[in-house]
Amino acid sequence: MTLYYSVLIIGGGLIGSSVARAIKQNNLAERIYMADSSEEACRVLRTLDIADGVDTDFNPFIGTADLVVLATPPGIMKQIGPTVVQAMKTGAVLTDVGSIKYDLVKQFETFMRSDLHFIPGHPIAGTENSGPAAGFGELFEERWCILTPPENTDETEIARLTELWEKMGSQVALMDARRHDIVLATTSHVPHLIAYTLVGTAIDMETVTANDVVKYSAGGFRDFTRIAASDPEMWRDVFLQNKEGVLEVVDRFIEDLSALKRAIRWDNGETLMEHFSKTRDIRRRIIDAGQDTDKPDFGRE
């Protein structure tokens, strides 16, 4: 039996189109509809044949949807939020796949209807590629999905949405929205900001031509360029909307980097050694937890 009769996914990029594929592959809804404001994205989505209806406008589908999934960049979610909420049918569930939860909850609370179920979500999955064609149905397998339902959310609906993610292959965790944001600032947002920064620094290095950076990138740098190739619009929104969490972690990072810089300047090998030995252990734990492969270089070919 399917979990929802009709699902509407707004935003057909990497994540939105992967959700559609995963729902279809696992037979979790009778009807899947997709809306994306880009004509070109809609054209691609239609050729992919993962939805029963695709349109640049969500209005034709929203009135009958049991589950609405917001999968646009975070900035767009805020813009369309009031219209989406107003058009949904009584008893339906509204969720999203955005990387920031507290800012979204704060915004949506101002116009949320009491006859809807609002359960924000965040699948910790993705690749550096974007757009409808980049998605795939297995993207969420063995990945975490964090749900941050406000207090007093209907338990049955939380359980149903949890089951949806589990059937798409994820493990689900429930978490307070603020806590989510500080955890993600550490494990995702700041790593992305740092990767973007370093790649920019390398490009700007006057003494190093861009060609040398490309040529000798295998020494570590190329890993950063993968992260820094992620969707710019989405990440701009992430940094602006999780400002507090990001700035806190960045400040700590700069303090720590300054301490290591000082150790280098003063030839303090012991401090470096102590620091570097400590960080090695966490890699083992990530591999043991099934969150990465232990093949050298990620098993790159």
Q: Could you say which residues in the range 110-139 bind its own copies, by CB under 8 A?
A: 124-129, 134
Task: Identify how many contiguous H helices and E strands the chain contains and give both numbers.
Answer: 13, 9
Question: What's the CA gap between 53 and 18, in Å, rounded?
Answer: 16
Q: Quick check: 46 binds its own copies (CB under 8 A)?
A: no
Q: Quick check: 107 binds its own copies (CB under 8 A)?
A: no
Q: Quick check: 301 binds its own copies (CB under 8 A)?
A: yes
DSSP letters of 37-54? Answer: S-HHHHHHHHHHT--SEE
According to CB under 8 A, which residues from 266 to 285 bind its own copies? 267, 269, 272-273, 275-280, 282-285
Nearer to its own copies, 94 or 98 (CB): 98
Taking the C-alpha atoms of 235, 212, 299 and 122 in order, what is their torsion angle to the nearest 10 degrees? Answer: 0
According to CB under 8 A, which residues from 15 to 44 bind its own copies? none
State in angstroms the smallest separation of the CB of 97 from its own copies. 13
State in angstroms the smallest separation of the CB of 217 from its own copies. 5
Residue 53's DSSP bridge partners are 33
* Cβ–Cβ under 8 Å, residues 58 and 36: no
Nearer to its own copies, 14 or 42 (CB): 14
Q: Quick check: 159 binds its own copies (CB under 8 A)?
A: no
According to CB under 8 A, which residues from 160 to 219 bind its own copies? 173, 179, 182-184, 186-188, 190-205, 207-208, 210, 212-219
Beta strands in 46-196 (DSSP E): 53-55, 67-70, 93-96, 117-118, 121-123, 144-147, 171-174
State in angstroms the smallest separation of the CB of 152 from its own copies. 25
State in angstroms the smallest separation of the CB of 180 from its own copies. 9
State in angstroms the smallest separation of the CB of 15 from its own copies. 13
Strands 121-123 and 144-147: antiparallel
Q: Quick check: 79 binds its own copies (CB under 8 A)?
A: no
